[in-house]
């Protein structure tokens, strides 16, 4: 894949030279960031529709925050602090599976369980982070929490491609079963679908995507990119197909605009913040559209 990235970067640089692309495109990190935005936008947008339908907002927020701890563990284990992927994926997957297991196997309400797991992971993560950043650069914290496009490189892009592949395979093989388990679990059970298994699969998918997007959007805000585009799409969609399509489009636009605008106008704003602000504007527009267009108000 590195050759493809190289090709795209060269193409963008020549475009910037000849003037039909903005001059920021000559920088490799800009192209890298935009490429990753193009990949995570549609993915998070599509998966986000199910996050909204399953009411997993708090759950996915907890996974995003767990990435803080994953990074801390990685730095302690001696991985490079810009790419502690092994610890990051391992910790977040374990965390998500354990949390879902506890949700299914105790009588305590789901949101209390999530709150407790969130607290444990953050308490460990905060202690470790403060401990390791005393030795490394404090600005590592900024990068992890709020996202930084400056550090995106070929390895990150390759991981994103890998996640895309996994999501596509799981999605295509399982699409109908997953959809039915999300929107009508009772009917799914009658049809012989193992809903609980589908649940685990879906949670695994969110975790992989969340962790892969932490670099761009930041651990604190990655949940919002699952949530806001889907909520906006729900306001203006008339059926399931347009719900998913709009959500993908809004998420992708948010990523691209959020990455480009601060660069273009030289604003000292982290990419995560800008991306979420763009998504929030889209959400506001969708609210206005829903109020203004009668046909949308009657739709589900």
Partner 1 sequence: MPLLDALSAEFMQRALLAGLLVSLAASYFSPFVVQRRMAFLGSGLAHAAFGGVALGVFLGWAPLYTALPFTVAAALAIVAVRHHSALDIDTAIGILFALAMALGMIFLYLTPFYTRDAFTYLFGSLLALGPSDIWLAAGVCALTAALVPWWSAWAFASFDRELAVADRIPANRHDYLLAAALAALIVASIKVVGIILVSAFLVLPGAAARPLAKRFRTFTLLSLAIGTSTTIGGLLLSAPLNLPSGPVIILCQCGVFAAALLAARWQD
Can you give the binding site for partner 1, defined by CB under 8 A?
Answer: 52, 55, 57-58, 61, 65, 106, 108-109, 111-112, 114-116, 118-120, 122-124, 126-127, 130-131, 138, 141, 146, 220-221, 223-224, 227-228, 231, 267-270, 272-274, 276-277, 280, 283
Give the nearer residue to partner 1 in terms of CB position, either 116 or 289: 116
Closest CA to 60 of 14, 22, 114: 114
Shortest reach from residue 284's CB to partner 1, in Å: 10
How far apart (Å, rounded) are the C-alpha atoms in residues 213 and 64? 9
Give the nearer residue to partner 1 in terms of CB position, either 195 or 280: 280
Q: Angle at Cα 120 formed by Cα 115 and Cα 121, nearest 5°?
A: 100
How far apart (Å, rounded) are the C-alpha atoms in residues 35 and 32? 5
Shortest reach from residue 26's CB to partner 1, in Å: 25
Give the nearer residue to partner 1 in terms of CB position, either 252 or 271: 271
Q: Angle at Cα 129 formed by Cα 125 and Cα 133, nearest 5°?
A: 175
How far apart (Å, rounded) are the C-alpha atoms in residues 65 and 82? 17
Which one-letter DSSP state was computed for residue 84? -
Shortest reach from residue 10's CB to partner 1, in Å: 32
Q: Are 76 and 128 in contact (CB under 8 A)?
A: yes
Shortest reach from residue 267's CB to partner 1, in Å: 8
Give the nearer residue to partner 1 in terms of CB position, either 61 or 213: 61
How far apart (Å, rounded) are the C-alpha atoms in residues 279 and 255? 8
Shortest reach from residue 171's CB to partner 1, in Å: 22
Give the nearer residue to partner 1 in terms of CB position, either 94 or 267: 267
How far apart (Å, rounded) are the C-alpha atoms in residues 186 and 213? 33
Shortest reach from residue 5's CB to partner 1, in Å: 29
Shortest reach from residue 247's CB to partner 1, in Å: 13
Q: Are 209 and 41 in contact (CB under 8 A)?
A: no
Give the nearer residue to partner 1 in terms of CB position, either 131 or 175: 131
Shortest reach from residue 118's CB to partner 1, in Å: 7
How far apart (Å, rounded) are the C-alpha atoms in residues 260 and 93? 32
Give the nearer residue to partner 1 in terms of CB position, either 73 or 224: 224
Q: Distance of CA 33 to CAs 41, 44, 147, 246, Å?
A: 12, 16, 11, 22
Give the nearer residue to partner 1 in terms of CB position, either 19 or 268: 268
Closest CA to 88 of 188, 173, 228, 215: 215
């Amino acid at each position: 894949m590195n050759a493809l990235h190289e090709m795209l970067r060269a193409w963008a640089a020549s475009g910037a030279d000849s003037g039909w692309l903005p001059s920021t495109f000559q920088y490799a990190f800009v192209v890298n960031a935009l490429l990753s935005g193009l990949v995570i936008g549609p993915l998070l947008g599509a998966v986000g529709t199910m996050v909204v339908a399953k009411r997993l907002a708090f759950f996915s927020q907890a996974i995003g925050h767990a990435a803080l701890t994953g990074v801390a563990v990685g730095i302690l284990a001696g991985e490079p602090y810009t790419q502690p992927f092994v610890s990051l994926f391992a910790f977040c997957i374990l965390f998500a599976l354990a949390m879902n297991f506890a949700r299914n196997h105790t009588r305590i309400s789901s949101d209390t369980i999530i709150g407790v797991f969130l607290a444990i992971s953050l308490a460990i993560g905060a202690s470790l982070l403060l401990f390791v950043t005393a030795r490394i650069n404090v600005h590592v914290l900024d990068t992890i929490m709020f996202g930084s496009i400056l550090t995106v490189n070929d390895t990150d892009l390759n991981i994103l491609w890998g996640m895309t592949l996994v999501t596509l395979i799981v999605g295509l093989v399982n699409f109908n079963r997953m959809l039915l388990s999300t929107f009508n679990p009772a009917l799914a059970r009658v049809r012989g679908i193992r809903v609980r298994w589908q649940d685990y699969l879906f949670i695994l998918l969110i975790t992989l995507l969340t962790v892969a997007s932490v670099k761009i959007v930041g651990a604190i805000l990655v949940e919002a990119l699952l949530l806001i585009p889907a909520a906006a799409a729900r306001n203006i969609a008339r059926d399931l197909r347009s719900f998913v399509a709009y959500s993908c489009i809004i998420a992708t636009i948010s990523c691209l605009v959020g990455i480009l605008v601060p660069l273009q106008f030289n604003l000292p704003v982290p990419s995560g913040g800008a991306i979420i602000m763009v998504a929030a504007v889209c959400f506001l527009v969708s609210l206005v559209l829903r109020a203004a267009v009668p046909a949308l108000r009657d739709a589900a």
